Chains A and B, each alone.
Chain A
Amino acid sequence: MNHKTNLGIRAVLHTVRKWKKTLLLFCLLLFITTLVLSGMAIADAQEEQSEELRGVTGASFTVNANNGYTLQPVTDEMIEEIAAIDGVESYNTSHWTIVNLYNQDTLMKGTDEREYVADLFYGSGCFDSEYSPLFLSGALRLTEGRHVTEGNSGIILYEGLAEKYGLSLGDTLEIKNGNPGDPLVECEIAGLFEVIADDNDEQATMARPSTFYDYEEYVFVDMDTMSAISAPYTASEGNGITSVDFFVSDAAKLESIVQEVQNNTSIDWNSYYITVNNEVYERISSSLSDTSTLVTTLIVMITVVSMVLIILILFMSIRSRKREIGILLAVGIEKYAVLLQQMLEICLVAIAAFPLAYLASREMAGTLGTLFGKAAENVIVTPQHFVLVTAAGVGLLIIAVLVSCIPVMRMQPKAILSQME
């Protein structure tokens, strides 16, 4: 039987019998790891929030027909080609006209009995009404039914108007342009909206500068319906659309997507031009970037300060164990075994501290996240964070032990023991 006190036994005995030092190191590792894990969860929540915000800022670019003598409409082929580009989420156009609505041959009137315009509605043709500026800006909100898109035709109107005429989803109305003799087009009620913004809300009225139309008198129809309504007035090919808004899934990628559209499509850019609409993203991007920088800086600072602190503590610990190292070397223990013992000791402490830090950070991260304006339930410490921190932590600790041991290991055992005596 081998009775030798090998490095493993020495490491365990030191960890157990020098329990005050062990406890100090354990508490330090627990504290630091908990902070780093929480920081990573906050950073992830921040990134998630940024991504989410980038997706909902309504960042878009508009392809416009050139404002020259030979106005070329935006064709369906062009729209399909651009919509197929990666990162383009949806598209819409703003095709507006004045319409009359008929319910069972009765000319419908708005909810407000206004002079001149009481029986006129402001009709918008949409590829996807969800991306209409009025819905995007929050001026209007769909309360029932669905949005109208290509393939999902219908009409969306104000819920108060539907109530006035006893209409509900699925009922059929007839719609026509404002002039006598224009064709009547049948359409089914697909959705109802409520008005959120008031008439004075400047941002909400960005769709059109008209101020005398009430939002309650807006209706939205799919592009096929709009084409049928506008047929007498559309001489050119397609729908006579002169501009289309393309919405991107990530506002941060808007510029590169626009470049791709300009460089990698068959569109003749002498007849069209692009305008970029990312005001909302521009407004929030600097604050998003500031918060991200703050969180990242804090995590880096915590990690760096922690590592410096641990290296200092290990330096002091190694210094106080210089004599022990000298003795071990003098009695013939190899340098690598002395180093491995030190590494093993810190790993034993880390094995206990890291899982506990994981559990602690799962409890704490949410609370810490609220300090950075994050919802507690969005700040989640994941097993991936734990694996990453454990791997990086063990690596850094081993480096710290090596760095701390270098000065002692470079000395001859006699020099170490002489210094100690």
Chain B
Amino acid sequence: MSIMEVKNVGYTYDNRRKVLRGINVQMEQGKLYAILGPSGCGKTTLLSLIGGLDSPTSGQILFEDQDIAKTGLSDHRKNHVSFIFQAYNLIDYLNPKENVALTSKLPPLPILERLGLTKEEAKRNVLKLSGGQQQRVAIARALASEAPVILADEPTGNLDEDTARDITEILKESAHKMNKCVVVVTHSNELAKQADVICRLKRGELQVLDRISDTPKARNGRRGR
């Protein structure tokens, strides 16, 4: 049973450049999805559309079979999805605890500690944390939210190998142990290898694979030959 469905979605920049064409994909809880593709192919745009940060030019984004354009993008962002951005996007006048508490009523410290931050670091100005620590705060913010879908845009893009591995593990756990639907846009083969489903975006079209080494399972919703 899919929780999110991208249905025949197209997106055009400035009414001229078609970035996405007839994208179809269904996403389930408990799975880690990786969206791969060359730079500028529209990966982040697709993630933004799934997350309700923007509206598609054509087609629909469904959450539990409801069109998010009709139920409200703001409501979708608030209740259904949580984001992890490549640039972390933390609020600079809030400390890690307060940043995590933006989306959750739960105490933020346990989750920050689980992600490797100390109590002192959890109270420090976010701009004084390392990139890895900031990304952990961003992940903590996403995990603390009760949203069933986590959307991550290049979450390991700015991190060293060890930290990237840790983050990959956390995302995998979120999908498999916390039963979240985790969708990751990445260039990292290491991260993609851990994904349950690979979505390859090329020239505005999407190929869905079971594993990174698999042949295409579907192309824009059609079964692969």
Contact = CB atoms under 8 A, between A and B. Distances in A.
A4 B104 contact: yes
B53 A412 contact: yes
Interface string A393-421: 00000000000000000001111010001
B2 to A, nearest CB: 22
Given A3-B108, A4-B105, A334-B78, A417 B93 contact: no
Contacts of A5: 94, 98-99, 101-102
Contact of A3 (B51, B106, B145, B147): B106
Contact of B74 (A9, A10, A335): A335
B179 interface: no
A1 B103 CA distance: 15
B79 A14 contact: no
Interface string B55-79: 1000000000000000000100111
A147 B157 CA distance: 99
Interface string A320-337: 000110111111111100
Given A4-B101, A4-B105, A331-B103, A13 B93 contact: yes
Given A414-B53, A414-B54, A332 B77 contact: yes
Interface string B141-156: 1000101000000000
B87 interface: yes
Given A330-B89, A331-B82, A3 B53 contact: no
Contacts of A106: none
Interface of B: 45, 48, 51, 53-55, 74, 77-79, 81-83, 85, 87, 89-94, 98-99, 101-108, 141, 145, 147
A236 interface: no
Nearest to B51: A330
A18 interface: yes
Interface residues of A, number: 29
Given A5-B102, A18-B93, A417-B85, A330 B53 contact: yes
Given A327-B91, A329-B77, 10 more contacts: A3-B104, A4-B104, A5-B101, A327-B90, A330-B85, A330-B89, A331-B141, A333-B102, A334-B74, A413-B53
A3 B89 contact: no
A200 interface: no
**Shortest 6 CB-CB distances between A and B: which pairs?**
A332-B78, A414-B53, A414-B54, A332-B77, A5-B101, A414-B48
Nearest to A334: B74
A417 B54 contact: no
A323 B92 CA distance: 10
Interface in A346-380: none
A416 to B, nearest CB: 9
Contacts of A10: 91, 94
A3 B105 contact: yes
10 contacts: A3-B106, A4-B102, A5-B101, A10-B94, A326-B89, A330-B53, A330-B85, A330-B89, A332-B147, A412-B54
Given A330-B53, A331-B141, A13 B94 contact: yes
Interface string A1-22: 1111100011001100110000
Interface SS of chain B: helix, strand, loop or mixed?
Answer: loop
A332 B82 CA distance: 8
Contacts of B91: 10, 324, 327-328
B107 A3 contact: yes
B189 to A, nearest CB: 24
A323 B93 CA distance: 13
A327 B89 contact: yes
Among the interface residues A10, A414, A421, which one has the most CB atoms of the partner chain B within 10 A?
A: A414
Contacts of A421: 87
B172 to A, nearest CB: 23
Choose among A2, A323, A331 the residue with the greatest number of B CB atoms under 10 Å from its CB.
A331
Nearest to A14: B93
Contacts of B74: 329, 332, 334-335
Interface in A16-63: 17-18
Contact of B83 (A17, A323, A330, A415): A330
A18 B106 CA distance: 26
Contacts of A331: 77, 82-83, 102-103, 141, 145
Contacts of B53: 330, 412-414, 417
Contacts of A9: 98
